[in-house]
Amino acid sequence: MKAKIVNLDNQVVGERVLDTNIFNLEPRVDIIKLVVDWQRAKKMAGTHSTKTVSEVSGTTRKPFKQKGTGNARQGSLRSVHMRGGGVIHGPVVRSHATKLPKKVRKLGLKHALSSKLAEGKLIILESLILENSKTASLVALLKNFQGKSFFVIDGNLVNNNFAFAVRNIPNISVVPQIGANVYDIISHDCILVSQAAVDALEERLK
């Protein structure tokens, strides 16, 4: 399949043939969701924790004598039903990461790219090279694409001027092709991909 190539002024400068096995699949929401859930689970810190009875500091002495008080007998102030005591079955430090086969992850990326291209939200740029690193200049160029948020994918390295220019712009992320992922592609409105990135993605996903 053929796709237009534009410059940063959104003017058509040519066209190129795209791999239909990567950019022209019938989008599968179930596969995309599998990969998004895998990414989000892996990103969770899992550092939440509470103290059990053995970890709470306090005396091991009985709070009061066992008989003669009229109260139910108690063995420790650190018990789970006492104020300031431990927590039973509370959260512990753990990893939330799950396993997902590489083939499914790769397939999810293909379907995400195909989905954005089908919506007309994936735009192939001639190049991401800027003459200067002025943020104002890049903001003016991005207005040509009328997107609410941008996910920009470059080749193996991101142009330094482009990387510096986007630092103070909200709702835009720039990554080299190795950083292309399903969650960011789906969560951003417009995907800008350089020709170098297309070449690298086709090599990586074939």
Global pTM? Answer: 0.83
pLDDT digits (tens), the chain, 206 positions = 899 999 999 999 999 999 999 999 999 999 999 999 999 999 999 999 999 999 999 888 898 999 999 999 998 999 999 989 999 999 999 999 999 999 999 999 999 999 999 999 999 999 999 999 999 999 999 999 988 999 999 999 999 999 999 999 999 999 999 999 999 999 999 999 999 999 999 999 98
Domain positions in the chain: 2-44+97-205, 50-90
At 55-82, the pLDDT tens digits run 999 888 898 999 999 999 998 999 999 9
CA atoms of 12 and 1, how far apart (whole Å): 17
Amino acid at 64: F
- Helix-strand-coil split of the chain, %, nearest 5: 35, 15, 50
CATH architecture of 2-44+97-205: 3-Layer(aba) Sandwich (3.40)
Q: What spatial distance separates the first Cα and last Cα of the chain, rounded to whole Å? A: 15
Q: How many residues does the chain have?
A: 206
Q: Are 197 and 177 in contact (CB under 8 A)?
A: yes
Tokens of 47: 């550092």
CB atoms within 10 A of CB 183: 18
At 183-194, the pLDDT tens digits run 999 999 999 999
Instruction: For residue 147, give the DSSP letter.
Output: -
Burial classification of residue 108, based on how many CB atoms lie within 10 Å of its CB (0-12 exposed, 13-18 middle, 19 or more buried)? buried
